[in-house]
Amino acid sequence: MQFYPRKSPRRILDATVNGGRFWRGSKRTVVGIDIESAHKPGIVADNTRMPFADAFFDVVVYDPPHIPNQGKDKQKDFNSRFGLGVKSTKERGYAFTHTFPPFVAEAYRVLKDEGLLFAKIADYVHDHCYQWAHAELMQAGRDAGFVPCDCIIKIRKGPIIDPKWKVAHHSRRRHCYWLIFRKSEACE
């Protein structure tokens, strides 16, 4: 937040606030929305139809779910756990990237000119296929009119592993990406 904005952001939206973990210990004023009321967000709203005026925010932060449904275990139902509403189909590879374009278009709408979208995203393996979520989000951002400005790789202490996974068919990744987009014609 100190490096990328051209001026100090006054209005920040966390479009996937959940429990607000990003902001613990922060002194920044953040508007948080989540589709799931159980998380007690500031505003219960769908981030593909946000209840804000055009060009209202300086920064939007997006941290979508990183792991889709895993097998037949209904306790890990991706759609109900994260309030997606639209179920991913077999034809979509059970991936959740279909949620990116409508969100990114809405983020573009609510951001001021020169505004920034910070997105934390992780690639993952599903049904023995590598899902390039960061590439899908980059394309959705470009399609919406954003300029991708940076890609930061954040290393975790360990890979995301379900205790039921007995065999690894792909390397278990220990990183995620922070993608930075600007609503502008150039990054600098």
Give start and end residues of each alpha helix (H) in 53-132: 78-81, 100-110
**What are phi and psi for residue 137, nearest 5 degrees?**
-70, -40
Tokens of 5: 């904005």
Flag the least confident range among 43-47, 48-52, 119-123, 164-168.
Answer: 164-168
Residues facing 153 on adjacent strands: 177
Q: Tell me: pLDDT of 44 over 70.
A: yes
Band of residue 102 on the pLDDT scale cut at 50, 70, 90: very high
In the predicted structure, residue 129 carries a pLDDT above the cut 80: no
E-state strands within 27-168? 30-34, 43-44, 57-62, 111-121, 124-126, 129-131, 147-155
Picking from 13, 11, 29, the residue whose alpha carbon sits closest to that of residue 118 is 13
| Domains delineated in the chain | 12-182 (3.40.50.150)
Predicted confidence (pLDDT) at residue 122 exceeds the cutoff of 90:
no
Q: How confident is the model at residue 150 (pLDDT cuts 50, 70, 90)?
A: very high
